[in-house]
Amino acid sequence: MILDGDIDESDPTQTSLENLVSIYPELAGTVKTTVYNWMSSLPRVMQMSDEDAKRIAVQNLAKSVDLLRDLGLESATLDDSMAAALKDSTLTLMMSSPQQVDTGGPLQLGDGAMPLATPATSQQQFQPVILARESQNRLRTELIGLIDSLGSASQKAKLAAALMESVRESASADQTAAMWLCFELVKAADRSSQAADALLDLSAFAESPGDEDAVFSDLYAFAVQVLDSHADLGLQDWRLEALSLEVVAYAAHKLGSAFRPEFIDVLFPVATFLGSENHVLQHHALAALNSVASSARYPSVSDMVIDNVDYMVNSVALRLNTLDVSPASMQVLLMMIRLAGPRLMPFLDDVIDSIFAALDNYHGYTSFVESLFSVLKEIVDQASRAGDRLLTDRERAPVNHRKQRPKTEDLLRYLDERARAEQAARDAAEDASGEIIERHPKEPWKRENAVEEEDDGEQEESDAPPSDEKPPNSPTYQLLLRIAYLTQYYLTSPTPQLRKSLLELLAEASKTLAGDEDSFLPLVNAVWPVVISRLYDLEAFVAIEACNALSSLCEAAGDFMSSRFKTEWADGLYEWCRKAKQRASAGSRGRELSSLGDASGDGDIMIPIRSADGLEGKRVRVGARQQQSGGSLGQHSSPARMWDAAVKLLTAIVSYVHVEDAMFDQILDLLSDTLEHNGEVREALETINAEAVWLVRCEKGYIEPLPTPGGDEQGFVKMERMPRK
């Protein structure tokens, strides 16, 4: 009798195997023996390379299970054999298929950038991790069909419960195979229950109504344990972690909004896999977050993270306090800060304290320090963008240290204000003494009743109202100030990228902290030595970023930087700027000479060629492209970019900081070649001394000579253009 033949039950001329067993009861033993043999041989068949043979074996076994159920020949022995056969077969298939490990960079979630799946499709996003090859799709479908045919929901739950021991006690691939099979049995049991409930309410007749839920609760607890131990067990099978992500998503799918309390335990571990090096795990975590957000009735993953950000931040703080930190954890914290933005600031106090403690204890681990400072830098960026909402009015006070060009009206206004101030002081003194104050006393001053005056002075001091105490800064301001102070200890790090990142952090923080000078200027005094030393860094990109940071400090601190730049200018800053200009000019002249050489056409070279008559010379003309030794980056070369950064720094110094005349003349000489093509530089210099700028431009030949006034009889000397240097 052929099992895979379709029998038309309406045709009385056809006899099925079920009919024969009913007619001949002695065939029942033969059927049971045959099915048992097929179960026992299934793992061996799975070792074959013929995918069709595997698929047919699974299909026939599924039909034989249906036959046993229809004949009422089921037994506990066959059930135990089926569970063992399925586990061994799955393990065999896994061992024959190599693990697919695709490495990639960490994923980041953008606000609203992730498409959200509907609840109906949320379980179809996961790519298979068992039997994942394209050629195994049909085999996987048949295997899931076999699992669906294994009796009622309670029978499938019993098989899953039997496999849970292997899930917890086994290791490596055996554990992964048992977990996948247990998970598929649970899903099949749920499908069977839903199909039965759609027709009749049979809950009162169920053998064990809580079997399915109990098994799945056990499986879910194990999955959460696997996800939570991701950082500790980095060498475990990644497929076990992927299956755990699917289990969490399925639990959210079953519970819906009721799953939200579970976010305390699962949301952060799931999000941690976004920083995994395994590309498959990354997208599994992405799909899990998508599915959980959809099932829990959130509009997007971003909204889910923001709504539960306090849970996730607490998880990060606990891991930092217990030294259970991985780069993926820092990536998740970075993602949360970017998604939640300023609204996350009130929750970050404990995390910042933990980060500072970790930096104190592990400052020698450069990679770890870099990941921590990347989080601190993101905090500074977010706080700077929303400073208006997080700072007090005093901290938001506008700061403008830009120098203004002097005008006649300004001078007259200053003289009037000084005269009014002197007159007001004189009037106040006359009112207090009751006598008219003489401009020039005609007799020497003398003290009378010195003791009484001293007593009166002490009484006045005691009666003077107490000075107003400065109100405390806002929590956000204090947080940024602590982070900015911390940079001075790590700007000497051996990692150039960290030094650059810290300079960027300091430049961004200074813009926000400048509003409160009483707190900001001590910070400038503290970080000045290490920041100015980075200007002479061996790495060009670090020195360029140091120029940007110093420019920001000039804009924020103003004349407070005057004496510091005066001292540094004499100690080596002027020489550094001069050499930076020379290197940039040398590169520019080299490009000009190269282009002139190309245009001259003198590119012939002599190549020796061996022939029958000996060595002969052959003249070959080399094109312009061949003559260039290695090409030039032009304005993108390090010397050019360094000089551009130096120009920006010098412009900031002149624009915001008081400089002496000698220093201004040297700066003007350095920037003389940039006056004609950089309007910002020219405007800054003309604000301080427009006549000196005009004279330099005239010496350079950039100004047309003025016409000689009057006629020849006055004898004015005719102005001539100076040769351009």
Confidence of residue 554 (pLDDT cuts 50, 70, 90): very high
pLDDT for residue 539 is more than 90:
yes
> Could you tell me if 680 and 647 lie in one domain?
no
Has residue 619 been placed in a domain? Answer: no
* 383 close to 512: Cβ distance less than 8 angstroms: yes
Rounded Cα distance between 130 and 22, Å, is 40
> Could you tell me if 689 and 707 lie in one domain?
yes
Per-residue model confidence (pLDDT) at position 611: 56
Which stretches of 386-513 are DSSP H helices?
Answer: 387-390, 408-433, 450-463, 475-486, 496-513
Per-residue model confidence (pLDDT) at position 592: 52
Instruction: Kindly compute the dihedral angle of the four CA atoms of residues 491, 492, 497, 502, in this order, to the nearest 10 degrees.
Output: 0
Has residue 588 been placed in a domain? Answer: yes
Residue length of the chain: 725
> Position of tokens 């030595």?
529
Has residue 459 been placed in a domain? Answer: no
Q: Tell me which range, 399-403, 450-454, 603-607, is most confidently predicted by mean pLDDT.
A: 399-403
Averaged pLDDT for residues 331-342: 82
Rounded Cα distance between 80 and 70, Å, is 19
Has residue 228 been placed in a domain? Answer: yes
Rounded Cα distance between 176 and 260, Å, is 27
Per-residue model confidence (pLDDT) at position 705: 66
pLDDT for residue 307 is more than 80:
yes
Residue span of the structural domain in which 677 resides: 671-725
> Could you tell me if 162 and 251 lie in one domain?
yes
Rounded Cα distance between 28 and 34, Å, is 10
Give the pLDDT confidence of 72-124 residue by residue, as tens digits.
776 777 777 888 888 888 888 888 776 655 555 555 554 344 444 444 444 54
> Could you tell me if 657 and 700 lie in one domain?
no
> Which percentage of the chain shows pLDDT scores above 90?
27
> Could you tell me if 675 and 653 lie in one domain?
no
Give the pLDDT confidence of 7-21 residue by residue, as tens digits.
555 556 666 666 777
Q: Checking DSSP bridges between strand 604-611 and strand 614-621, what pairing results, if any?
A: antiparallel
Q: Is 364 helix (H, G, I), strand (E, B) or coil?
A: coil
> Could you tell me if 593 and 706 lie in one domain?
no
Confidence of residue 599 (pLDDT cuts 50, 70, 90): very low
Has residue 152 been placed in a domain? Answer: yes
> Could you tell me if 160 and 231 lie in one domain?
yes
Per-residue model confidence (pLDDT) at position 118: 45
Spell out a b/e string for 99-110, using b for 16 or more CB atoms within 10 Å of the CB, else e: eeeeeeebbebe
* 337 close to 305: Cβ distance less than 8 angstroms: no
φ, ψ dihedrals at 621, nearest 5°: -90, 125
Q: What single-letter DSSP state applies at residue 537? A: -
Averaged pLDDT for residues 33-51: 86
Per-residue model confidence (pLDDT) at position 120: 44
Give the pLDDT confidence of 573-592 residue by residue, as tens digits.
999 999 999 998 886 655 55
- In sequence order, the β-bridge partners of residue 604 are 621
Among 576, 530, 573, smallest CA distance to 549 is for 530
Confidence of residue 255 (pLDDT cuts 50, 70, 90): very high
- Segment among 358-362, 631-635, 715-719 with least mean pLDDT: 631-635
> Could you tell me if 105 and 132 lie in one domain?
yes
Rounded Cα distance between 106 and 223, Å, is 22
Element spanning 109, H or E:
none
Residues 6+ apart with CB under 8 A from 368: 325, 358, 362
Rounded Cα distance between 215 and 236, Å, is 23
* 332 close to 274: Cβ distance less than 8 angstroms: yes
Per-residue model confidence (pLDDT) at position 113: 41
Give the pLDDT confidence of 640-655 residue by residue, as tens digits.
999 999 999 999 999 9
Quickly count: other Cβ atoms within 10 Å of residue 261's Cβ: 8
pLDDT for residue 126 is more than 80:
yes
Residue 499 vs residue 338, higher pLDDT: 499
> Could you tell me if 637 and 679 lie in one domain?
no
Per-residue model confidence (pLDDT) at position 456: 55
Confidence of residue 664 (pLDDT cuts 50, 70, 90): very high
Give the pLDDT confidence of 432-444 residue by residue, as tens digits.
776 666 555 555 6
Has residue 52 been placed in a domain? Answer: yes
Per-residue model confidence (pLDDT) at position 404: 83
* 313 close to 335: Cβ distance less than 8 angstroms: no
Give the pLDDT confidence of 356-374 residue by residue, as tens digits.
888 888 888 888 888 889 9
Has residue 167 been placed in a domain? Answer: yes
Rounded Cα distance between 55 and 719, Å, is 101
* 499 close to 493: Cβ distance less than 8 angstroms: yes
Confidence of residue 626 (pLDDT cuts 50, 70, 90): very low
Rounded Cα distance between 597 and 584, Å, is 20
Mean of the per-residue pLDDT values of the chain: 79
Per-residue model confidence (pLDDT) at position 608: 55
Residue 244 vs residue 301, higher pLDDT: 244
Averaged pLDDT for residues 330-336: 83
pLDDT for residue 510 is more than 90:
yes
Residues 6+ apart with CB under 8 A from 41: 57
pLDDT for residue 327 is more than 80:
no
Averaged pLDDT for residues 130-143: 86
Rounded Cα distance between 495 and 367, Å, is 9
Rounded Cα distance between 386 and 586, Å, is 44
- Segment among 69-73, 265-269, 713-717 with least mean pLDDT: 713-717
φ, ψ dihedrals at 610, nearest 5°: -85, 135
Per-residue model confidence (pLDDT) at position 686: 92
Confidence of residue 601 (pLDDT cuts 50, 70, 90): very low
Per-residue model confidence (pLDDT) at position 455: 54
Give the pLDDT confidence of 139-174 residue by residue, as tens digits.
888 888 888 888 788 888 888 888 888 888 877 788
> Could you tell me if 568 and 677 lie in one domain?
no
pLDDT for residue 624 is more than 50:
no
Averaged pLDDT for residues 313-320: 83
> Could you tell me if 654 and 697 lie in one domain?
no
Number of domains in the chain: 3
> Could you tell me if 644 and 683 lie in one domain?
no
> Position of tokens 């282009």?
595
Confidence of residue 565 (pLDDT cuts 50, 70, 90): very high
Give the pLDDT confidence of 376-427 residue by residue, as tens digits.
999 998 888 876 677 777 777 888 888 887 777 767 787 888 888 888 887 8
Residues 6+ apart with CB under 8 A from 435: none
Give the pLDDT confidence of 456-483 residue by residue, as tens digits.
555 555 554 555 577 888 888 888 999 9
Has residue 623 been placed in a domain? Answer: no
> Which percentage of the chain shows pLDDT scores above 70?
75
Residue that terminates a domain, selected from 661, 679, 699: 661
pLDDT for residue 454 is more than 70:
no
pLDDT for residue 201 is more than 80:
no
Report the CATH number that the domain containing residue 180 is assigned in CATH.
Answer: 1.25.10
